[in-house]
Each structure stands twice: as structure tokens, then as C-alpha cells.
Amino acid sequence: MKKRNLSIGGFALALLLAGCGTPYEQCVRQVSKESRVLKSAIAESRLRISRGYAIHRQTVSYRVPSICHRHDHKMHRPAPYPCGRTEYTTIETPVPIDVAAERRKLASYQKQLVQAEAATKRGIRQCEAQYPKEG
């Protein structure tokens, strides 16, 4: 079982960057989304086949003990008290797979990718027509 800490800041940054870019770049990112998703699925499927198992990821929370301070009105100074904060970690567990079924799934993803890439090319041409380069 492998533990890996999640970066909530990294997730927030990815969300923020998703809205960045010129209208043309946003258009291209949108029309190429299906291809990117399929390429990711293909890479993951190939990993599962090469390992012979999948990896189940589960995010769990845990409390980290800490010391907090509050203002003590009688003593006119900060008073420490026990408190905690919530942290998150990802637990990875190997899960058996049917390798033959995974190979069929991979073949299906690869066929879908051919169609998705053709649609992406058409979409990019539409983006170029809608947002011509200035210069």
C-alpha cells in the first residue's frame, strides 16, 4: 500500500489555468478534450496490462494534532489549546484485472482515438476560422 499526499493547491492551480489562454487556445483545448481523455485512458490501460493489475486510489482524511491559540481575556494574552487540522492522503491498492478484457478495452480506446483525432482536426480548423491570427 503506497501513500501519496494530494496537493489541493495544485488542483486549484489547474482549475485556474483551465480558464487562461486566448479564445483560440481555449477553443483548441475544448475541441481536443476527447482526444486527450482517450490518450490518457490508453496510457493507463497499457500500464495495467504491463503490470497485470490495476491500482485503486482512495482519498482518505486524517487529523493532525496541533496547538492553537485564543485570546485569554482574563490574562490578556494568547492561551494555547489542543486542536487539529484535517489532511488528506491517497491510498493506492493493487487490484486484479482480466488482462484479456483490458486488451479489448485498449483496442476499443485506440479505435475511438482515430475518430476523435479526426474530429479534433476538424474542430481546430473551425477554431482557426473563428479566431484568425492577428499579425
User: pLDDT of 57-109, one tens digit each?
Assistant: 999 999 999 999 888 888 788 888 999 999 999 999 999 999 999 999 999 99
Determine if the pTM surpasses 0.85.
no
- Provide the residue count of the chain: 135
Domain-located, residue 124: yes
| 30 Cβ contact partners less than 8 Å away, ≥ 6 residues apart | 123
Question: 14 lies in which domain range?
Answer: 2-130
Domain-located, residue 135: no
Domain-located, residue 49: yes
Domain-located, residue 89: yes
Hey, what's the cell of 128?
482557426
Number of structural domains, the chain?
1
> Over the range 19-31, which residues count as b (16 or more CB within 10 Å of their CB) and which as e?
eeeeeeeebbeeb
d(Cα 102, Cα 129) in Å, to the nearest integer? 40
d(Cα 7, Cα 14) in Å, to the nearest integer? 11
Residue 10 pLDDT > 60, yes or no? no
Domain-located, residue 54: yes
Residue 9 pLDDT > 80, yes or no? no
